[in-house]
Chain A
Amino acid sequence: MALYSEKVMDHFRNPRNVGVIEDANGIGEVGNAKCGDIMKMYLKIEDDVIQDVKFETFGCGSAIASSSMATELIKGKPVADAMKLTNKAVAEALDGLPDYKMHCSVLAEEAIQSALEDYQQRTGKRIENGGNA
């Protein structure tokens, strides 16, 4: 049995949305080098919609795949939807992660949260995440 699902390996081998957005208006970085995982998310938000998203990740195969999948799940979506992205949704979209790698999907969720936080601070806008978007 392989360590990772085909989906994880696909996103690891061919990560989507890799790189930097120079004029990003929301940037989030989570994790630390001590633990071996750092994720950085760049968001370009216009009209409350995530027009573009890119990531940089230092980490294991599942960290890279989780970042890639998370960007796919929020790209083109309203910010309120992105706000509601959970680590579970990321892991499920990857057809599962080994138990001890679930923290990678948590980091992906946190990286997006952190970038959205940054966006709100920069723009002074509040993202409503309670109701239906």
Chain B
Amino acid sequence: MIYADNAATTQMSDTALATMTAVMKETWGNPSSLYGVGQRAKEVLEEARATIADIIGAEPREILFTSGGSEADNQAILSAARLGEKSGKKHIVSSAFEHHAVLHTLKRLEAEGFQVTLVDVHSDGLIRPEEVRDAIREDTCLVTIMYANNEIGTIQPIREIGEICREKKVLFHTDAVQAVGHVPIDVKAENIDMLSASAHKFHGPKGVGFLYARKGIRLTSLIEGGAQERGKRAGTENVAGIAAMAAALREENAHMAENAAHLTEMRDLLIAGLRGIPHGDLNGDARRRLPGNVNFCFEGIEGESLLLLLDDKGIQASSGSACTSGDLDPSHVLLAIGRVHDVAHGSLRLSIGPEITAEDVKTIVGAVTEVVTYLRGFSPIWRDLMSGKKEFIL
């Protein structure tokens, strides 16, 4: 089996798993309790906070634990909106290819009377900082742009966008769910005010993540109750999950350079191999993308069939086709970078992990080539394209 869907989720590392079970077994107290087993849990919690803060260049008190990336995105955006409306600022700048945790939160705010400007994503899958600058208005209270896209893996010019926001005195949030643990991040150097992350994208457990919020930013609670997390996130802390997240991130961070070097090499091999399939194209810039992300469109085929047949060959991947989402439209990300519907349905995302070998890459390229050729063999669109009745797009 070759698991190439690490952007969906990753397998927990042994370190994370060992940490999680050890905490559950030995440090099971409530961190709010005064006695020993509670206070030891509190120590575990604060150690995890310090570890995570240190890795992204933040202070421990700037890290708030959440149930994952979606909650962190919701809280960051709603907090900025609540702060903004106090001074009459009800405009937010974002992009069309954000995760739905961001887009749907913005929709909710629009219904409340906020205005949202979505800057263009260019065909290379990148946002232009100057266009973000142009979109910022007097009444802008937040810019939220993802660090790396979850489908096509393109890494945005975060530092530049952060600089612009700093200069314009507008809060800057980034959904860094796909980036944390995979590329180096320094929130201070990159002028990031708020950042969302999710543990299960970097070999930690599901159901846990964090929000970094620069000191001085007043957060709005999504969950009311006890005074946990400085009163900004009620509920007894998921101590074991949080400790496992910190352990996973520490490990990923320690091996980041070597993992990235290996993944980049394998990624480029994959891209080169898949370029051998005619009438296909890479989605997003070939260089400015996550080390483990490959995303192609193949004309004349549909993504779900491709995935099912790849699964039969022991390869797990994903697609932005409508049929994989239960929606009629294909991926909003592919449409945002200008892919037309016909082509967007035939997309394939391979998000590889560090265990991948050159032999695996060969297997994947062989399998994808075989399946695409097979499906084109009885595709009426392919017939029309080959007979000249229809013009190739790719």
Contacts and interface: CB of A to CB of B under 8 A. Distances in A.
Interface of A: 9, 12-13, 15, 18-20, 29, 33-40, 55-64, 100-101
B3 interface: no
A29 B380 contact: yes
B322 A36 contact: yes
B381 A38 contact: yes
A61 B312 contact: no
B380 A58 contact: yes
A58 B308 contact: no
B201 to A, nearest CB: 23
Nearest to B324: A60
A77 B323 CA distance: 32
A60 B302 contact: yes
Contacts of A62: 323
Given A33-B342, A34-B341, A13 B302 contact: no
Interface of B, helix, strand, loop or mixed by DSSP? helix
A56 B301 CA distance: 12
Most chain B CB neighbours (cut-off 10 Å) among A15, A19, A64? A64
Contact of B378 (A56, A61, A100, A101): A56
Given A34-B342, A36-B302, A56-B383, A19 B322 contact: no
A45 B299 CA distance: 33
Given A33-B341, A36-B341, 9 more contacts: A34-B341, A34-B342, A36-B302, A36-B345, A56-B378, A57-B379, A59-B305, A60-B303, A63-B302
A5 B361 CA distance: 31
A35 B341 CA distance: 7
A19 B304 CA distance: 20
B345 A64 contact: no
B379 A35 contact: no
B179 to A, nearest CB: 30
A58 B322 contact: no
A86 B382 CA distance: 28
Interface of B: 300-305, 308-309, 312, 321-324, 326, 328, 330, 341-342, 345, 378-383
Contacts of A55: 378
A29 B383 CA distance: 13
A60 B380 contact: no
22 contacts: A9-B308, A19-B378, A33-B345, A33-B381, A36-B328, A36-B330, A36-B341, A36-B345, A37-B302, A38-B380, A39-B380, A40-B380, A56-B379, A57-B379, A59-B302, A59-B305, A60-B303, A60-B304, A61-B304, A61-B305, A63-B302, A64-B305
A86 to B, nearest CB: 22
Nearest to A29: B380
A58 B341 contact: no
Contact of A35 (B301, B305, B328, B382): B328
A35 B378 contact: no
B342 A57 contact: no
B328 to A, nearest CB: 6
Given A15-B378, A29-B380, A60 B323 contact: yes
A52 B383 CA distance: 20
Contacts of A34: 341-342
Contacts of A19: 378
A12 B304 CA distance: 11
Nearest to A100: B326
